Structure 1
Amino acid sequence: MATDPTPSGTAPATPTPAAPAPSPDAPASGRRGQRVQIFQVSTLYGAATVAAALDSGRFGTRGDARRVLLVSHNAEIPETALRLDAMTGYDRIAARFDTTVEWNEAIHPHHPGSWAPRPEETPLWQRVLRTAWDLGDGPVELIVESIQANPAKALAAVFAESTVQLYADGLMSYGPTRDELPQSIGCRVRRLLHLDLVPGLRPLLLAEYGVEPEIVPDSAFRAVLAEIAGAAEGDPHVAAAVEAAPTAVLLGQYLAVLGILTADEEEDLHARMVRGAAAAGHRSVIFKPHPTAPARYSRALREAAEAVGVRLTVLDGPLLAETFYARCRPRLVVGCFSTAMLTASVYYGVPIARVGTGTVLERLQPYENSNRVPLTLVDHLVPDLESGAGPAVPGAAPDTLESLVRAVGYCMQPKLHPGLRAEAVALLDGLRPDDPLARYVDRDRLTELGLPGGDAGRSLSRPRRLRRRPTGRS
């Protein structure tokens, strides 16, 4: 599960730039007039998506523009988290670019999720970054993730005349835009590149701005994943995994950091994955913590494995989960609502199963939390391991899915998607309280919006104000 960066306001003070600010009359460095493309990434999975888009010609041929890879370390405490450039396979991705620069260094000592320039400072910041990154004086194109939050919003503010393209790092693309974008940014977004993780389902992200989604070819992404897996040849972590002869991979997330579960509840969730895998007949399993999750030893996880006679291998090395899929060829991948579950089924044909989605559905607040659509997708498409249902490869989106996602999307962001109200009403009108789809819509939210299924007896003259709270990317 990858995280949607924490929304933030303007920093109270200007951070020390990475390079001294040039005088107003100083010429820009670099090749005069050369077009520059800045690709902002914070995860290896996202970088792999960008690489696949490059390889499939989505950004022209190499040499058409100078390609800059801008790395942002967005973990809660970046200094203690695993760095992107330490991940196995990163070097192969970075080789596709002409240069690599770091956002954290440029805005030090501020956090990339919480810093944005003051409006009056943006022209100076553009000159500083053009000089520090040797961008020259030519046009700059931005290719970013999660435009509704920093650091992408900060970049769009600094390069105020630049066009913006988005790539979707996981299942978030299927949900609505988290916040209304400033008109100065919304009008500059040209397209949304995304992986076809739920074949047949059209993303809602930025649809209100008329942004067209464009699929990154499956073949290109598979090739990049194979390249990353090839970089793991001889890696001791992979060797340990292969030696353990695992048949199941269990995916950790960081729900406690996001405040969705407590730390103890998250440990119990992982223990439930172990017990579920054991009940399904697996005797050797890998537990793969999320790359940005805080380091902690899980005695509960090991005790659960010992109790059910399962060999547990915890692999917290600098590797994508997809590397284990390629090297270990598991027969099962288990998670809560991690994007890596869908990657396993779509790109490797591995059956998947979920654990704990019901609990998270009950806990997830506020209703417009950006994790809601990824959670809804996994809960609706993927079998529940603890129910006795066998794991499966979900395949194409069922007929019920698009109407469900659009109804949930409207309930999350009614002001951004007023045109979806009629579709939401049509779906909700036909739901009984015991209908499986009813679990995805909150009765209080339906009441607020005056939708079928709400409390008709409650006065709607003064509905509760829509709540805002930081969310995370899965």
Structure 2
Amino acid sequence: MTVTPANPRTTAANPRTTTAKPRIQIFEVSTLYGAATLAAAIDAGRFGPAADVRRILLVSNNAAIPETALRMETMTGYDRIITRFDEVIDWNEAIQPHHPATWSPRTEEAPLWQRVFRTAWDLGDAPVELIVESIQVNPAKALAFVFAESTVQVYADGLMSYGPTREELPQSIACRIGRLLHLDLVPGLRPLLLSEYGVEPELVPDDAFRGVLAEIAEAAEGDRTLAEAVAAEPTALLLGQYLAALDILTADEEEELHIRMMRGAAAAGHTSVIFKPHPTAPARYSTALNEAAEEAGVRLTVLDGPLLAETFYERCRPRLVVGCFSTAMVTASVYYGVPIARVGTDTVLERLKPVENSNRVPLTVVDHIVPDLETGAGPAVPGAGPETLTPLVRAVGHCMQPKLYPLLRDETARFLDSHRGDADMARYFDAERLTQLSLPGGGGPAPRVGASSRLRRSLIRAGRG
């Protein structure tokens, strides 16, 4: 297992100068955006002073085929981020030949694995604190099993923090979670994630995150790809998500979605446009978009380097950012004041399966608060959501995970009942699921609002509610 010194005070000749510290914090991360979130939280003092703790950045590449995916250390700004940590450890290498998304130790093997990692990483017998993303799945869940006595903190680096927990957590993990750190991407909206366990959300300060983004952008000085993009004097940026990889759209449909974004920007008067494809998107996406841009008389520049979209916002403030439901859209609005618009959310709402799909809440939020570029509505900086946003998100969350959030049933029923006949609201909910749950909008009898929580829990456990 390779342990790479990250902090200047920890040298290659003496990589263990910090092992005498009484506490160890292990920060698990899989994206540079997530690492930037952690860096901002550290800078803001959310994890205490650096003097009395040894910090390890545990990097996990969760791509389906990690060997062919973009590695985090190749991303612009990575070298700036890791200065907050004493060393960097490659999780993929630590558990090879297993895949980070699927490997978890057997219950009886967990103590053995902890001894293996404590020896390999020179942790000694110091107490370990875990700071992880997506605690419902591996590798975060695997780490929580291995370090079974460790406290756990969860951080969320995108819109998914506003949605429900993906599945019920083992009580042995749930009882150890101290807080949920998240960015204030939708001011006024409180995360639903982990709320059923009484976990309190805590904001990562805007100025701290903005400072880290500026630091990453500074690291892009001299980047040829970025310089070419800025030289094109674009006024709009299109964000690709590669929804085909999630089996939400076909590759052809996603290709057409990008073309619709470009045409919408052109119709709004933008003649120089940047397209930032998803890092795993096929090259043909850019080819088809180039052909459509030429037909529309739009100058198209593809920004396909190892850069965060936020680095482009920092260097070249566009007047419009267009996407489907990417977190990077909301970042542009919240942290840079750039007007945003959406394209294709209606199609994705129809296609998104199953009901429990974790993308449902991010999609709902963006669809509800961001203008649709194709309807002629002008782009906007949404700010705080409308009064309907919080009850809508809570209702969608209950329908996604009724067993985890039975106490939201009554308010969900009231919300749905108050919006009967409202087609705009109805499209956020699956009619079949509403029928299964005997909620307004489904095909069953009207629910009796106000039933006792105990009865509701009994019905749900029996599979009847």
TM norm structure 1: 0.89
List alignment gaps of at least 5 residues for structure 1.
1-16, 20-27, 467-474
Compute the displacement of 1:290 (Å).
1.9
Q: Does 1:236 align with 2:229?
A: no
Aligned pairs for 1:294-305 within 5 A: 296-305=284-293
> CA separation in 2, counterparts of 1:285 and 1:130?
50
**Among candidates 60, 72, 76, match of residue 84 of structure 1:** 72
> CA separation in 2, counterparts of 1:63 and 1:104?
29
Amino acid at match of 1:317: G
**Contact 1:81-1:294 at 8 Å conserved across structures:** no
Deviations 1:264-289 (A, max 9, x none): 11111111111111001111111111
Amino acid at match of 2:408: L
**Among candidates 411, 417, 421, match of residue 405 of structure 2:** 417
Q: In the alignment, what sits opposite 1:318?
A: 306
**Among candidates 114, 129, 139, match of residue 141 of structure 1:** 129
Q: In the alignment, what sits opposite 2:25?
A: 37
Compute the displacement of 1:246 (Å).
0.7
**Among candidates 185, 202, 211, match of residue 197 of structure 1:** 185
Q: Does 1:68 align with 2:81?
A: no
Compute the displacement of 1:433 (Å).
2.9
TM norm structure 2: 0.91
**SS at the partner of 1:227?**
helix
Q: In the alignment, what sits opposite 2:83?
A: 95
Q: Does 1:442 align with 2:430?
A: yes
Compute the displacement of 1:137 (Å).
1.2
* Counterparts in 2 of 1:399 and 1:77: CA distance versus 1, 3 Å: same
**Among candidates 153, 168, 173, match of residue 161 of structure 2:** 173
Greater per-residue helix proportion: 2
* Counterparts in 2 of 1:60 and 1:44: CA distance versus 1, 3 Å: same
Q: In the alignment, what sits opposite 1:399?
A: 387
Deviations 1:298-357 (A, max 9, x none): 332111111101111111101000000011110000000000000000000000000000
**SS at the partner of 2:51?**
coil
Q: In the alignment, what sits opposite 2:35?
A: 47
Comparing 29-38 with 171-180, which one deviates more in the overlay? 29-38
> CA separation in 2, counterparts of 1:303 and 1:238?
22
Compute the displacement of 1:34 (Å).
2.4
Aligned pairs for 1:215-230 within 5 A: 215-230=203-218
Q: In the alignment, what sits opposite 2:258?
A: 270
> CA separation in 1, counterparts of 2:83 and 2:279?
22
**SS at the partner of 1:125?**
helix
Q: Does 1:57 align with 2:45?
A: yes
**Among candidates 140, 158, 161, match of residue 146 of structure 2:** 158
* Counterparts in 2 of 1:358 and 1:98: CA distance versus 1, 3 Å: same
Identity %, equivalent residues: 76
Comparing 130-139 with 362-371, which one deviates more in the overlay? 130-139
> CA separation in 1, counterparts of 2:378 and 2:285?
30
* Counterparts in 2 of 1:44 and 1:37: CA distance versus 1, 3 Å: same
Q: In the alignment, what sits opposite 1:105?
A: 93
> CA separation in 1, counterparts of 2:361 and 2:345?
12
Q: In the alignment, what sits opposite 1:186?
A: 174
Deviations 1:177-198 (A, max 9, x none): 0000001100000000000000
Q: In the alignment, what sits opposite 1:365?
A: 353
Q: Does 1:249 align with 2:237?
A: yes
Compute the displacement of 1:297 (Å).
4.8
**Contact 1:33-1:137 at 8 Å conserved across structures:** no
Amino acid at match of 1:265: E
Compute the displacement of 1:457 (Å).
7.2
**Contact 1:30-1:137 at 8 Å conserved across structures:** no
List alignment gaps of at least 5 residues for structure 2.
4-15, 447-458
Deviations 1:118-159 (A, max 9, x none): 111111111111111122210000000000000000000100
**SS at the partner of 1:191?**
strand
Amino acid at match of 1:212: E
Amino acid at match of 2:370: V
Amino acid at match of 1:344: A
Deviations 1:408-464 (A, max 9, x none): 010011110111011101101112334421111111010010001101279xxx99x
**Contact 2:21-2:53 at 8 Å conserved across structures:** no
Compute the displacement of 1:296 (Å).
4.7
Amino acid at match of 1:310: V
**SS at the partner of 1:329?**
coil
> CA separation in 2, counterparts of 1:324 and 1:140?
37
> CA separation in 2, counterparts of 1:295 and 1:184?
45
Amino acid at match of 2:232: A
Compute the displacement of 1:29 (Å).
12
Amino acid at match of 2:34: G
> CA separation in 2, counterparts of 1:45 and 1:292?
16
**Among candidates 297, 307, 310, match of residue 295 of structure 2:** 307
**SS at the partner of 1:101?**
strand
> CA separation in 1, counterparts of 2:218 and 2:404?
43
**Contact 1:29-1:137 at 8 Å conserved across structures:** no
> CA separation in 2, counterparts of 1:457 and 1:213?
37
Amino acid at match of 1:44: L
> CA separation in 1, counterparts of 2:87 and 2:22?
15
Amino acid at match of 1:379: D
Amino acid at match of 1:426: R
Amino acid at match of 2:414: A
**SS at the partner of 1:256?**
helix
Deviations 1:85-129 (A, max 9, x none): 100000000011000001000111111111111111111111111
Amino acid at match of 1:148: Q
**SS at the partner of 1:406?**
helix
Amino acid at match of 2:294: E
> CA separation in 2, counterparts of 1:404 and 1:360?
18
RMSD across aligned C-alpha pairs, in angstroms?
1.9
Deviations 1:237-267 (A, max 9, x none): 1101111111111000021011000011111
Compute the displacement of 1:204 (Å).
0.2
The alignment of Structure 1 onto Structure 2 pairs a total of residues equal to 438
> CA separation in 2, counterparts of 1:39 and 1:191?
14
Comparing 415-424 with 293-302, which one deviates more in the overlay? 293-302
